Structure 1
């Protein structure tokens, strides 16, 4: 008698042997493992020098190991062929160029306000490493003789300047000056006279034009900083002045490049410097 079981209906059925479909999946897995081992073998040849540099760099970067072989310099990377050649730190130069543009736009804005008020000729401008200086020139225009009381023209000038500088993040320095003739009466000396003029301008800008007290300061220079002598001699009226200086917010490394940029210098014309943070 046959041991093979008969299907219903008298036909033979069932599987003649064990199910071998699992072999396909197994072979796929073995193939993948073989590829993995080939890749690992290909990667097993390591440049020891490069690996050591990478190890030290990673260790130093995570603050676990200090290594003398890791370059920790800051600033602009200079190609070996350019070492020793002229050029300036490009980051500092670009920031200085942007600062010059901002100061020049500020000057144009103030000039436009003064021109509309018919007062443009009463004010001089200077841009340097400190920032933008607005010069209120001449006691006959802004102050009575040996006086710190603002005249009407001075108020009109400050009314044109105030709205432009009111919202700036820059510190505004109000600096009083006096001429060198040494006759400041009723003030004891030129120091008191120049200080009173600077304080008067500061108070007007704060109290009447809304400048923040935390962004404005007053200084007195007496007659210690006279303007250069002209071909016609000393102009005492020009030294009876108050300067309103919108101070630059940039670092010293950036500000010291401003005069060169104003003179038309390019980055390659300046000596190489590196800004250390």
Structure 2
């Protein structure tokens, strides 16, 4: 009497998944290719090696180059670099800002030189922007007066059109020497002088009023800390600051860009 072979049936709802076999065969294929490559490289043949190298490079989607990359460019300091490459973008924008302000200073300098007035104005670039410094109360104002002199009007007519064409915000900042004046205090004197300059820029220079503000700092921010007549002349001043419109992170890089340019020049 023959014995029937019993076959087990899979439980109802159970499915045998054999997809692992596909991964296994892929792994075996990769190992096979590896051993073939190792065997092919066991006997060094320059021509065969070059062909193999080119073939592998093509397979991985790269281009073989016999040249060494010696390109140069802007080096981003570690403090300015980041994984998303924002550091390089910030440095590029800071460099662009410095170039823009240097161009503005050069343009204003040429207009002043044409009038013989270049010695009465100083330019300074920092992380705030471009500072146009009108130095000396005798040049721009009579002693203890907020009335602009004829020379001051010439200077303002030379520089205001350049500033008005930038579309940047402008801060007019008045400063005074720490001396007794006819005004109640040096605060009122410096503030009114700043206001006079701002009004001229708006009313006669074409600078939109929404882009300019006036502030008086009195004697709290002296350009020089001495007590000589020369020091007082430097402290009696009005600063016209063309403000940078970049983010604080970008503006913080401007001093470093200026130092790098100074070293390379």
Alignment TM class, shorter chain as reference: 0.5 to 0.7
Range moving further from structure 2, 86-95 or 229-238: 229-238
**Structure 1 position 86, deviation (Å):** 6.1
**1:198 to 2:229 alignment:** no
- What is the rounded CA distance, in whole Å, between the counterparts of 1:134 and 1:128 in structure 2? 12
Q: Counterparts of 1:205-216 in structure 2 under 5 Å? A: 205-216=201-212
In structure 2, what is the Cα distance between the partners aligned to 1:191 and 1:237? 17
Q: Flag as ranges the 4+ runs of structure 1 deviating above 6 A.
A: 230-234
Secondary structure of the 2:124 match is strand
Please tell me the root mean square deviation across aligned C-alpha atoms, in Å: 2.4
Equivalent position of 1:262 in the other structure = 258
Task: Give the distance between the partners of 1:240 and 1:202, measured in 2 at CA.
Answer: 17
1:131 aligns with 2:129: yes
2:92 corresponding residue in structure 1? 94
Note closer, same or farther for the CA distance 1:115–1:236 as it changes in structure 2 (3 Å cut). same
**Separation of aligned partners in 2, 1:85 and 1:92:** 13
Q: 1:119 aligned to 112, 117, 120, which one?
A: 117
Helix, strand or coil at the partner of 2:131: strand
Post-superposition shift, 1:233? 8.4
Taking the TM superposition and a 5 Å limit, the aligned residue runs for 1:60-79 are none
What TM-score do the two structures reach when normalised by structure 1? 0.63
| CA distance in structure 2 between the partners assigned to 1:202 and 1:86 by the alignment | 39
Q: Deviations over 1:175-196 (max 9, x none)?
A: 0000012x121x1000100010
TM superposition score normalised by structure 2: 0.65
Higher helix share goes to which structure? 2
Greater RCO between the two (CA within 8 Å, min separation 6)?
A: 1
Q: CA deviation at 1:229?
A: 3.8
Residue equivalent to 2:145: 147
Q: Residues of 2 paired with 1:140 and 1:160: CA distance?
A: 19
Superposed displacement of residue 231, structure 1: 11
Answer yes or no: is the 8 Å Cα contact 2:173–2:240 preserved in 1: yes
Contact 2:172 2:212 in 1 (8 A): yes
Unaligned stretches of 5+ residues in structure 1:
1-40, 47-83, 267-277
How big is each residue's C-alpha offset from its partner over 1:153-196, in whole Å with a ceiling of 9 and x where there is no partner?
00000000011011222101000000012x121x1000100010
The structure whose Rg is larger is 1
**8 Å contact 2:224–2:235 — kept in the other structure?**
no
